[in-house]
Amino acid sequence: MSSSNIRNHLSLLMLFILIIVTGCHDKVDVGHKSDKKLNVVATIGMITDIVKNVGGDRIDITGIIGEGVDPHLYKPTARDTKILKEADIIFYNGLHLEVRITGSVFKKMDDITKAIAVTDGIDRSQLRKTSEFIGGYDPHVWHDVSLWMKATENIRDTLIKRDPQNAEYYRSNAKYYLTQLTSLHYEMQRLSAQIPIKRRVLVTTHDAFGYLGKAYGFEVRGLLGINTEDEVGIADVRELAEYIIENRIPTMFLDTSSPPRGIFSVQAAVKARGFNVNIAGGLFSDAMGTPGTPEGTYIGMMRHNMKTIVNMLQTELAYRE
Ligand SMILES: [Zn+2]
């Protein structure tokens, strides 16, 4: 072997040693961060989104119920059951929203203490009572941003309790996200204030917006009850049509989680009496929009809903009055 060849071999050897040493050094840092992450599962998208914002890259998160899917009727698949059983923490809404998950999978789980209802930390006096729903409370809490902030705090505290090593990280993420939610709450108040109080009436397919009504001053009427399992009857259609005519309601709103058929029947019933009511589309009631779009986040979904309601009512009222 020539001396230049030996030199080349020695250079290669040095390079190898360098790679190994650098590699080891990197591994030490990465190793510190890659302690087993919490395996977190959430039911509805609005919860998955909070958990992502608070848990960041220190957790693994899987959302079960996707875009446009009705959580009242959602039946867990075999894959969901496996995911739920393997989770370290499960965040769900509670108040009997995801009845087909809580009623089946949860009952067969060894450790039920890992399932946390995010609405548990909310004072019961702030919940809407209803005789229409099992348990006596309306579960659509996320439509009041100030209440969903309490759900965020509950998620933050649970992550800190289960993973105290990353407490500061979760605390700081939650603080940042809660600041954004506070701004959103004020924005929703400012937007709704653009409509005179007596004209703030929201007629929708599924009666999911009671908390939005309570928080931002709207009277809310839904064709379908609070639970989408209820059937729409002829009497419901007639009664809502009557209300629309009496109160000169200009627009009804469809939502992305309920079938639109009943609302078209109401429109026809109103027309048969010689009046006209428009149908506007696309409020997000029980699920968020397409992932990757603004409406695919909780903040974007809420902003979209309020802007759609206010824009439509403003346009129609300006035209009619
Ligand atoms: Zn609902």
User: Distance, CA 174 to ligand 1 centroid (Å)?
Assistant: 26
Q: 120-148 pLDDT, tens per residue?
A: 989 999 999 988 777 799 999 999 999 99
- Low-confidence residues of the chain: pLDDT under 70: 1-34, 226-230, 320-321
Q: 227-262 pLDDT, tens per residue?
A: 666 677 888 899 999 999 999 999 999 998 888 888
Cβ–Cβ < 8 Å for 291, 52: no
Q: What are phi and psi of 42, to 5 degrees?
A: -125, 155
- At residue 320, the pLDDT reads 66
CATH superfamily of 196-320: Nitrogenase molybdenum iron protein domain (3.40.50.1980)
Say which CATH architecture domain 38-189 belongs to.
3-Layer(aba) Sandwich (3.40)
Between the alpha carbon of residue 286 and those of residues 9, 256, 308, the distances in Å are 66, 8, 16
User: Distance, CA 122 to ligand 1 centroid (Å)?
Assistant: 19
Q: What are phi and psi of 139, to 5 degrees?
A: -85, -10
pTM: 0.86
Separation between Cα atoms, residue 72 and residue 224, nearest integer Å: 13
Cβ–Cβ < 8 Å for 193, 309: no
Neighbour tally for 239: CB within 10 Å: 15
User: Distance, CA 286 to ligand 1 centroid (Å)?
Assistant: 5
Question: Could you give the residue range(s) of every CATH 3.40.50.1980 domain in the chain?
Answer: 38-189, 196-320
User: Distance, CA 9 to ligand 1 centroid (Å)?
Assistant: 70
User: Distance, CA 15 to ligand 1 centroid (Å)?
Assistant: 62
